[in-house]
Amino acid sequence: MDRRKFLKGTTLATLGYLGTTEATKLFSAEFVQENERVKSADELVTRKTRSAISQGLRYLASNQVSQGRLKGALGSQGYAAGVAVTALAGLAFLCSGSTPVSGPFAANIKLCTDYILRNVRASGYIAENDSTRRFSNMYGHGYAMLYLSQIYGMSKRSELEEKLSSAVKLTCSIQNRLGGWRYQPVANDADLSITICQVMALRAAHSAGMQVADEVRSKTVNYVESCQNPDGSFHYTERGGRTTLALTAAGVVSYYSAGIYEGEKVEKALQWIFDHRPGKARGQTVSPMNYYYAHYYAIQAMWHAQLKNPQYWNAWYPLIRDELMNQKRSPDGTWPDQRVGSEFGTAMSCIILQIPFNYVPVFSP
């Protein structure tokens, strides 16, 4: 399927999800005018960056398991063998412009898709069905559901529709009474870091044609609001906890995923994030433990912010681009991550650096 036609179709589905009032605001002449002043991908993504992206994608492709029960995964053990890293690698391939049927990474996308589909359990929970399951939780489920939603919008495979639908139903059924989600697939506790993974995936699934009750969205908004501080930042749970760039970016993208693009809560959060931009010392740095997670959501927050505040995006991308490019990478082009692994670090970096290409509908502003 032509990617541009899919983007147009997804936009129409999004209009139905947001409602007439919100859609009118989002696509008004005011926003279009602002968007025209946003720097283009040609201006932002340097030749050196494109080369690094290509090298990173080739590494992911070469590291993909080609046979056996783990065929399609990004490694044979640990996190690399999990659905989360596989889904993120698949998204990185999609961000390059490849699809399930065309482009240099089409075969790799198919391998990612088939592996994830084999790990959708009867309940709808997406998690590895082998000894690596200790690495799985609702992070993996959310990323896998997000990835499958993008593939479903392009292929409409019957098996994919059935399994994605079951994953969506599971997620909706285990939303806790406050409106969030936690590490395990049960309606118990909740935290913002898991909630963003679910609400973003649900938005993507809805845009691809899956049914998601409006009540789920409303409860999510209530939960996200309960995690926001007066200064615009976000903490870990409704009860409090740490405040970080990762959580604040996750909070903003949660609002976006629920169809909320403007208002004081969003504006204050965006300003807080921008005040903690790469290289801007404010007494806090991004923990190495959640560095890629933080910037995966921060880049989306700034990318969407271009609709009203193009200055955020125009300043943010070069900063994170240069920070990633200046990291000490391996000779094979990988971005290191000591906890989860280089497959994860490389997939996340490639997604972040390719956002200006605007090939993946769920990331489109």
The 10s digit of each residue's pLDDT in 289-323 is: 899 999 999 999 999 999 899 999 999 999 999 99
What is the per-residue pLDDT for 285? Answer: 65
Partners of 71 in the beta sheet? none
156: which residues sit within 8 A by CB, 6+ positions away? Answer: none
Q: Are 201 and 146 in contact (CB under 8 A)?
A: yes
Supply the range of the domain harboring residue 162.
3-363
Residues of the chain with pLDDT under 70: 1-36, 130-135, 281-285
pLDDT digits 0-9 by tens, 97-155: 999 999 999 999 999 999 999 999 999 999 987 654 556 799 999 999 999 999 998 88
Placement of tokens 């615009």 in the chain: 232
- Rounded to whole angstroms, the Cα distance separating 259 from 160 reads 26
What is the per-residue pLDDT for 279? Answer: 84
DSSP string, 54-71: HHHHHHHHHHS--SSTTT
- Rounded to whole angstroms, the Cα distance separating 23 from 307 reads 13
Output the domain CATH number for residue 98.
1.50.10.20
Cα 318–323–325 angle (5° rounding)? 90
Q: What is residue 340's three-state secondary structure?
A: coil
Partners of 191 in the beta sheet? 181
- Joined tokens for residue 324: 């990633």
**Number of domains making up the chain:** 1
Residues 249, 250, 256, 259, CA torsion sign: negative
